[in-house]
Structure 1
Amino acid sequence: MSPLFSCLAHSPQALWRVVCSSLRFALPVGLLLLTACGPSVNRYLLIEQSLAAGDAKQADAIVQQAEKSYGEKNRLLYDMDRGMTLQLAGEYPQSSAVLEQAEEEVERLYTRTVRSEAAAFLINDNVLPYEGDAYEHVMINVVKALNYAAQGQFQDALVEARRIDHRLNVLTDTVKDKTRYHEDGFARYLTGILYEATGDMNNAFIAYRMAYEAYETNRTWARTPVPTHLRADLLRTADALHLANEFEEYRRLFPDTAWQGSAAQRGLAQVVLISYNGRAPYKEDRFLDLPISLDALQLVLLNRGFSQSSRHQNRGVDSVLYGLNGRVVRVALPRLVTQKTQVPGEQLTLVGETGRQVSVSSELGQNISALADKSLSERLPGITVKALARAAFKFAMSEGATRGAQQAAGKDAAPWVGLVVSLLTKGLAVFSEEADKRSWQTLPDEIHIARAWVEPGQYAASVQLLGRGAGSTKESRRTLILAPGQTMVMIQRVIQ
């Protein structure tokens, strides 16, 4: 009989002490793992397939049916995803109601419980409620504003415009490092369009000016140039408000921009196209396996080489290998994977009853992937420090549990007991390490915008996609009846 079994057979108390010492660490970790690392279903693939087939109602049904699998900790994520799919399905009132719940959840999540923070420190940040990124909070109000605008309810849309203004002003006041995300060119631009649609030229000009400044300030990381339409808007509204100094400044800045005065556009109708193109970026794990001994270094190099890629399919194997070795600490950090659209632009064409045709090209208004990249890069230093501290804490607890079990087992059984307990506790520590990869994935990669002014009347509207995704979308052919001074908002989704 081996020393381990001999010791345990003659000393039941030693067996009990070993088991208790091992489970003191392993049970809480194991129970939390069942919560944090539950089965993962790639619902977003099914959503994208439905949207690509032009079936937005099916995409919304997929999100709705998955409500329980989101779980309470991802309530905000569910509301944001559902709000977007409801908008694409044309269910604008329902979309706004769900996104209103998302806003309330954002406010509620400003406070966290000590218990939740402790669990996250012991396991990973996936056990915390998802709070969303700052740009996602702004996008909640952007999507709501578009819901109301698409229904022609511009006074309600202006409520969202004021909320956008408040949210961005708070960000500007609280963010000390002005290189961080605190302004949003597209959100400001949209508020300007909404104000102008209601005849509020003064607030429209202010919003357009703030949009221009945001686009210019964020140009290096947002990868979004100032839209040509916005330059024309600044010239037109400055002229309409008789702001001579501002008008001359913008004429100097935009010498090649064609524009029409407000008098020339009086009585015309406007069509605004919002095109959601491509798929939002997603996050994956980047595992860093840190060896604490020469043997551990050799093991890591044999097992992974110099790769830091995600290896979810081998997590069980890694947990056993590193648990047996006992001298490898795993750290998981999120890495952004972009999915760039193949459609760089669209052409909006309006054909009147008389055969008169007006065509305008869309422009990039918002680069969601750039926003996500900026947000992650800003948070990554803090995420890294927290992940390293968590890994060190897990290792220390594993060491303590292993030594305690060895002392409880006695001299003869200590090596075997230490091996078993190390495998259990350190293996669980490796297996439980996972980055927080949650994000609002029903957003697009880019948002494009086109604006056309036409005489009132009936029009056949169509949208031609440019680039490799060339062709017409199912939603792009519509009949529009436009009244004098009316603003019509069209929303389309392009998966390519």
Structure 2
Amino acid sequence: MSCFVSRPTVQDPARWGVCLSTILTVSILLTASGCGSFGKHYVQADKSLLVHDYQRADAAIKEAEDEYGDKSRVLYGMDRGMTLHLAGDYKQSNLLLEQSDDEVERLYTRKVRTETAAFLTNDNALPYEGDPYEQVMLNVVKALNYAMLGLWQESLVEARRIDHRLNVLSDRVKDKSAYREDGFARYLTGILYESTGDVNNAFIAYRKAYETYDSMKGWSRVGEPRQLQSDLLRTTDGLHLTSEFTAYERAFPGVPWQSVQAQQNLAQVVVISYNGRAPRKEDQFLDLPISMDALQLVLINRALTNPNTPENRAKDSVLYGLNGRVVRVALPKLIPQPTQVPVDIVTLNAASGDPVLVKTEPVHQVTALAEKSLSERLPGIAVKAVARAATKYAMAEAATRGSQSAAGQKNADWVGLLVSLIAHGYAVASEESDKRSWRTLPDQIHLARRWVSPGHYDVRGAGFTGEGPPGSRSLSLSPGQTVFLIQRVVQ
């Protein structure tokens, strides 16, 4: 007979208990199974990127807009901004990225009630602001979008925003070993300045990039690019900075370079290659027993199941809810997805003459930045997670004892068991780490600069973005012109 046919009475406590227990057990199962479901759209996006179908990758992110929800508006703008960038829709990409940038500024001060809600559930209740390196990448991608559109003054606006954001970050973060500067972002601003004829600001940016690469080399897994060394020699020579030029000449023996004058009648090709996939995060659960029975339960359960599946998480919630003596703590764990392509080769085929081979080199290691960011935040995340789990456990215990007292001696046992299942089960089911990150970024960014004779070129690469079939582009270069070529290599 359905438990909804008639209203339970005091004389029918068993039936009432079975019905309510069933309802709430199902609720716990739904709560737990719903955790971790966010992110399926990344699988489809990655498959599309693998075959250079950038429009379909963007469609996968767009179709999942509702899944992001209000708390992840910044992340949605980041993800779609990148896929639109790869698809060659630079205007729409900047629109989404600008919205995320504005939202980051708005979220700088959080509301107390939002923090309270997150403390009673998990950090996914907080608005996503992005890690500092992701916030810098907002301006980097916007600057590249403007460069691809030929809007050089607008790209310089983003270069100045990068400078401002990094200066503020350096002032705020006093630990010199932390992420407080960005070598690639500084280098890109230098390229943009020099491409518009501002050699002085280009040199300042190149020098800052060189210093940053040196200060970050202990953990960033990227040294200063060889091309940057040539850029420092060229710009100090062009600005007649004799002492600086001499110092760099001693520091970079044998590095080839051309003078500013020698390059004036040439065209510049800048290749940006996004290689591999950004790291993802998954939950790392710590199930803390507070009785010997609970210890045995945890050991047996962990030996038989993997808690990182929705089905097993649902089972854990019911099992630990019934036991009532297990506290679950969830911490984020980074899963790298490294590129298998250490160097990219782009071929420029002219109508006459030998092909020009352009080799890229790593200039940005996104995975290293993500690892650094998480390692810096993990102690605070762990303290907060333990405090949250302890609070939820205490509330569950209080609810259980309070219900037993209210139910009276006759019904105390089954009411206590039922409420324990609800309260402790929900405490376990709701425990989840914040696994959000800018997943449409690559593992690494590679770069190459090459000055070539003006003329028409057929360009071949692994997966160029924008117009034309993947892997090929057609260029007509004029003296003094700078052209950016952007490609995506998922392997």
Residue of structure 2 equivalent to 1:478: 473
C-alpha deviation, 1:394, in angstroms: 0.2
Residue 410 of structure 2: aligned partner: 412
Match of 2:381 in 1: 383
* Shift of residue 334, structure 1, vs aligned partner: 0.3
Give the conservation status (yes or no) of the 8 Å contact 1:278–1:494: yes
SS at match of 1:338: strand
Distance 2:28 2:299 in 1: 28
Amino acid at match of 2:83: T
1:214 aligns with 2:212: yes
Report which stretch shifted further, 258-267 or 120-129.
Answer: 258-267
- Number of matched residues? 476
The TM-score with structure 2 as length reference comes to: 0.91
**Structure 2 Cα separation of the partners of residues 314 and 35 of structure 1:** 8
Superposition CA RMSD, Å? 2.8
Following superposition of structure 1 onto structure 2, how do residues 347-362 of structure 1 map, counting pairs within 5 Å?
347-362=345-360
Q: Does 1:338 align with 2:336?
A: yes
Cα pair distance change 1:187/1:324, threshold 3 Å: same
1:8-157 pair list within 5 angstroms? 9=10, 37=35, 40=38, 42-157=40-155
Give, in angstroms, the shift of residue 133 of structure 1.
0.7
1:291 aligned residue: 289
Q: Give CA-to-partner distance per residue, 1:306-329, whole Å, 9 cap, x none.
A: 999634331121112211211110
In the alignment, what sits opposite 2:3?
none
Match for residue 158 of structure 2? 160
Q: Is the 8 A contact 1:33 1:123 kept in 2?
A: no
TM-superposition CA deviations, 1:461-495 (whole Å, max 9, x none): 22269xxxxxxx95332221111111000111111
Query: Is the deviation greater in 300-309 or in 358-367?
Result: 300-309
Aligned to 2:6: none
1:492 maps to which residue?
487
SS of the equivalent of 1:45 reads helix
Mapped contact 2:148–2:483 kept (Cα < 8 A): yes
Please show how residues 174-323 of structure 1 align to structure 2 within 5 Å: 174-305=172-303, 310-323=308-321
Give the secondary structure class of the aligned counterpart of 2:281.
Answer: strand
Letter in 2 for 1:312: P
Give secondary structure in 1 for the equivalent of 2:42: helix
SS of the residue corresponding to residue 278 of structure 2 reads coil
1:181 corresponds to which letter in structure 2? Y
Secondary structure class of the residue paired with 1:259: coil
Asked whether the equivalents of residues 288 and 308 of structure 1 are also in contact (C-alpha less than 8 Å), the reply is: no
- In structure 1, the partner of 2:438 is 440
What displacement does 1:97 show?
1.3
| Most deviating of 425-434 and 38-47 | 38-47
Cα distance between partner residues in 2 of 1:56 and 1:448: 19
Q: 1:369 aligns with which of 351, 367, 371?
A: 367
Higher mean displacement: 109-118 or 435-444 = 109-118
The Cα of 1:38 is off from its aligned counterpart by: 8.3
Aligned to 1:276, what secondary structure does the other structure show?
A: strand
Cα 1:304/1:490, change in 2 over 3 Å = same
**Equivalents in 1 of 2:369, 2:324: separation in Å?**
40
**Cα deviation code 1:106-150 (max 9, x no counterpart):** 111112222211111001011111111111100000000111111
8 A contact 2:462–2:488 mirrored in 1: no
TM-score, structure 1 as length reference: 0.90
In structure 2, relative to structure 1, the CA distance for the partners of 1:81 and 1:316 (3 Å cut) is same
SS at match of 1:344: coil
Post-superposition shift, 1:356? Answer: 3.6
Deviation per residue, 1:172-228 (Å, 9 max, x gap): 000021211110010000000000001101100010011111111111211111110
Q: Percent identity?
A: 61
CA contact (8 A) 2:328 2:389 kept: yes
| CA deviation after TM superposition for structure 1 residue 32, in Å | 12
Amino acid at match of 1:314: N
Change (3 A) 1:86 1:43: same
Q: Compare 37-46 and 231-240 and name the one that shifted more.
A: 37-46
* Cα distance in 2 between the residues matched to 1:185 and 1:292: 48
Kindly tell me: are residues 138 and 458 of structure 1, through their superposed partners in 2, closer, same or farther at Cα, counting changes over 3 Å?
A: same
Q: Is the 8 A contact 2:32 2:430 kept in 1?
A: no
In structure 2, give the amino acid aligned to 1:481: S
* SS of aligned partner of 2:349: strand
Quick check: 1:36–1:126 contact (8 Å CA) kept in 2? no
Distance change (3 Å), C-alpha of 1:270 and 1:122: same
Matched to 1:490, the amino acid is L
Question: Secondary structure of the equivalent of 1:475?
Answer: coil
Contact 2:33 2:311 in 1 (8 A): no
Shift in Å, 1:91: 0.7
CA distance in 2, matches of 1:48, 1:385: 34
- Contact 1:286/1:308 (<8 A) preserved: no
Report the AA paired with residue 489 of structure 2. Answer: V
Q: Partner of 2:218: helix, strand, or coil?
A: helix
Give the secondary-structure state (helix, strand or coil) at the position aligned to 2:337: coil
CA-to-aligned-CA distance 1:47-90 (integer Å, 9 cap, x gap): 11112222211211222222222211111111111111111111
Kept in 1, the 8 Å contact 2:214–2:223? The answer is yes
Q: Cα offset for 1:37?
A: 3.9
Change (3 A) 1:307 1:133: farther
Q: Which amino acid aligns with 1:68?
A: D
**Secondary structure of 1:273's partner?**
strand
Check 1:36–1:127 CA distance in 2 against 1; reply closer, same or farther (3 A cut): farther
Distance 2:60 2:118 in 1: 29
Give secondary structure in 1 for the equivalent of 2:440: coil
Contact 2:268 2:480 survives alignment (8 Å) = yes
Name the SS for the 2:328 alignment partner.
strand
